[in-house]
Amino acid sequence: MINRKQELPLKDDSSSLFLQVMITIAVFLFAVTLAGVLSINSMLLNWNQSILGSLTVQIMPVNSIDKDKAREETLEHQNKAVRFLESRPEIEKAVPLKDEQLEKLIRPWLGDGTNIGDLPVPRLIDVKVKKGENINFAELAEKLANASPQASLDNHKLWLNKLIRFADGLKMLAMSILLLVVTIASGAIFYSTQTSLGLHKYIIEILHMMGAKDTYVAQQYAKRTAYLGLTSGAAGLALAVPAIFAISRLAEQIEGGIISEATLSWGSWVLILSLPLFSSLIATVTAYYTVKRTLEKMM
Amino acid sequence: MHKKHLIKEKKYFIKYYICYKLKVLNRKGVFILLNKDSSIPAIIEMQNVGIRYGQGPEILSDIKLSLKKGSFHFLTGKSGAGKTSLLSMMYLAQKPSRGIVNVFGKNVNFTNRDSLSLLRRKIGVVFQDFRLLDHLSAFDNVALPLRVCGMDEREVRKRVKELLQWVELDRHMLDTPATLSGGEKQRIAIARAVINRPELLLADEPTGNVDNDIAPKLMKLFVELNKLGTTVVIATHSEKLINDFNYPRLHLQNRGLRIFYPNDVSGLGGNI
Ligand SMILES: Nc1ncnc2c1ncn2[C@@H]1O[C@H](COP(=O)(O)OP(=O)(O)OP(=O)(O)O)[C@@H](O)[C@H]1O
Ligand SMILES: [Mg+2]
């Protein structure tokens, strides 16, 4: 049977390979950057929630030559603080960190095998605020000090604020990279489509003489670029996914729980995995309108 | 006596009224051209048309022309006289440098691109240099005009096969133009021009490369199409062709156009 051949041999265009490489790189960059933006976002969300929803109370260790006594007194202060906190209506729960947890926290600085009992380390109480409660930080801090003089309140706000501003800046930067990648990619599609139109001027003129409208030509270009956008987009994504995993593995190895909160949600993954569809859509629309606009200048 | 005169007046009035209704007279009672052609619309009209390339001199000047629907004309003139240029305005590849060109009653200067495309679908063109698409088979080349207007693929196959058989090229259906002879290419070009049963057929030297025995067959195709209502213009150098058929001829000379009717060769002076 006779197979219908495309009138415009766009497959053999020299610009075809260029476009494939271009779109692959663009989608790769886009996916990795987008993953960055999304995880910064989830990190910011987590941080904001932790500012709103949690406090840390620090119990300064009592100084004494008798280590056991000092420890006991410190724990006594801790219990007082816990009781006070639990009596407050806006607080959901107050959980003192256990020795192992404290050890884990200081291990990066003091190494393995430290015995928490031997050291004058502050004890920490992890406090969860009830959802939707607006606490008066200053008042709570004062009353806490009254209940237990060794206790002080920290709402993470100060140092987190700096981090949040830094993360916000990073996010803006990443967003402008996203915009730039899209601009450059569609610019490349625009120019290579124009070049291709010039290359196939002879064929296009004949198609016009046979009564083809501009849309007929534009559709052939749109089909071709849709295919290129999809396949090259998939290739770019295939390169990006391992890269994203590698980066997040590196981030997980940073202790302290700041960056490990930067996990990608299912929704984020769906967005990232659908990038080839978007690249195909953008490529198609760009090519279509480039053809329409360029042909309008021919007779 | 007086009464008889009145009756005569009345009869005259009725006659006048009928003529007015039939649009033979205009409102003021002046006779509109009563020539028998006036009811037939012109497919192509040109007035004061001039054409030039870039800043060069005018190739054609002050062309005045009206081709009636269903007419058949030869177009002659020395090489370089501007036959192809004149045809290219008719098939809407070129706008006139000056003057008015109406194709199917539409002024080409005020017609948008999509409407021009629709007009082109009613025009079949055999280009002097064929303009076949080299990467497509003979079949796909002939199918082109049908496909660009979105015809159903089954219908396309049926029609194209039929026509290729008729021009004796069904053996070469899947060959690309590069592997075909000049005459075979020409027949493909002709098949492509007529596949859509055009209302206007413009052929630039359509029988230049074909054998003496296939040329009459192709001419017969044009004549048959003309009988079915297609308006035909054929540019040719072939004196034999012109003499074999009694059709009027548009002759280009000294940048102008003159029309000669059969058996009237005065002034041609062998300048074909
Ligand atoms: N695209 C063009 N650019 C510049 N000049 C052109 C162009 N096409 C045609 N001409 C000039 O216009 C003149 C008429 O050319 P045209 O092709 O119309 O002649 P023709 O009658 O068809 O000749 P032939 O019988 O050899 O086909 C020629 O002098 C040619 O040089
Ligand atoms: Mg010519």
Q: Is B237 on the interface with A (CB under 8 A)?
A: no
- DSSP code of B266? T
Beta pairing class for B249-253 and B256-260: antiparallel
Residue B25 has pLDDT above 60, yes or no: no
List chain B residues with CB under 8 Å of A220: none
B117 to chain A nearest CA, in Å? 5
What is the SS3 assignment for B126? strand
For B145, the closest of A202, A211, A296 (CB atoms) is A211
Confidence of residue B12 (pLDDT cuts 50, 70, 90): low
Which atom of ligand 1 is the closest one to the Cα of B53? 4
Which atom of ligand 1 is the closest one to the Cα of B88? 18
Spacing, Cα B37 to ligand 2 middle (Å) = 30
Task: Kindly indicate whether the ipTM for this predicted assembly is greater than 0.90, answering yes or no.
Answer: no
Is the CATH code 3.40.50.300 the one for domain B34-260?
yes
**Structural domains present in chain A:** 10-49+160-298 (no CATH), 53-155 (3.30.70.1430)
Report, as an integer, the average pLDDT of B78-105. 95
A290 to chain B nearest CA, in Å? 16
Residue type present at position A7: E
Q: How many CB atoms lie within 10 A of CB B231?
A: 24
Residue B269 has pLDDT above 60, yes or no: no
Per domain, the residue ranges of chain B are 1-33, 34-260
> Looking at residue B101, what is its pLDDT?
95
* Exposed/middle/buried for residue A220 (C-beta within 10 Å: 0-12, 13-18, 19+): buried
Mean pLDDT of the residues in chain B: 86
Chain A, nearest residue to B141 by Cα: A7
> Looking at residue B30, what is its pLDDT?
46
> Tens digit of pLDDT per residue, chain A (299 long)?
445 678 898 888 888 899 999 999 999 999 999 999 998 888 888 777 766 677 888 888 888 778 888 888 888 888 988 999 888 888 888 888 888 888 887 777 777 777 777 777 888 888 888 877 777 778 888 888 888 888 888 766 666 777 888 888 999 999 999 999 999 999 999 999 999 999 999 999 999 999 999 999 999 999 999 999 999 999 999 999 999 999 888 877 775 555 555 678 899 999 999 999 999 999 999 999 999 999 988 65
A contact test, residue of B89, B113, B192 with most A CBs within 10 A:
B113
Q: Any idea what the Cα angle at residue B112 is, between residues B106 and B115, rounded to 5°?
A: 65
Confidence of residue B5 (pLDDT cuts 50, 70, 90): low
Confidence of residue B17 (pLDDT cuts 50, 70, 90): low
The pair of structure tokens assigned to A271 is 């967005």
Chain B, nearest residue to A2 by Cα: B174
Q: Is A299 on the interface with B (CB under 8 A)?
A: yes
Backbone angles phi, psi at B134, to 5 degrees: -70, -25
Q: Is A203 on the interface with B (CB under 8 A)?
A: yes
Backbone angles phi, psi at B179, to 5 degrees: -95, 5
Dump pLDDT digits (tens) for A155-173.
666 667 778 888 889 999 9
Q: How many CB atoms lie within 10 A of CB B147?
A: 18
- Rounded Cα gap, residues A142 and A148, in angstroms: 10
Residue B225 has pLDDT above 60, yes or no: yes
Q: Is B139 on the interface with A (CB under 8 A)?
A: yes
CA distances A26 to A190, A230, A245, Å, are: 15, 12, 19
The pair of structure tokens assigned to B128 is 């002097």
- Which ligand approaches the C-alpha of residue B86 most closely? 1
Instruction: Let me know: does B203 contact B179? Beta carbons within 8 Å.
Output: no
Q: What is the pTM of this model?
A: 0.76
Which of A208, A225, A232 is closest to A296 using CA atoms? Answer: A208
Residue nearest to atom 27 of ligand 1 (CA): B79
Confidence of residue B207 (pLDDT cuts 50, 70, 90): confident
**Number of inter-chain CB pairs under 8 A, A vs B:** 64
> Looking at residue A41, what is its pLDDT?
87
What is the SS3 assignment for A67? helix
Q: Any idea what the Cα angle at residue A38 is, between residues A34 and A42, rounded to 5°?
A: 170
For B148, the closest of A4, A205, A211 (CB atoms) is A211
CA dihedral (B142, B143, B146, B152) in degrees, to 10, reads 160
A232 to chain B nearest CA, in Å? 26
What is the SS3 assignment for B98? strand
- Rounded Cα gap, residues B179 and B21, in angstroms: 62
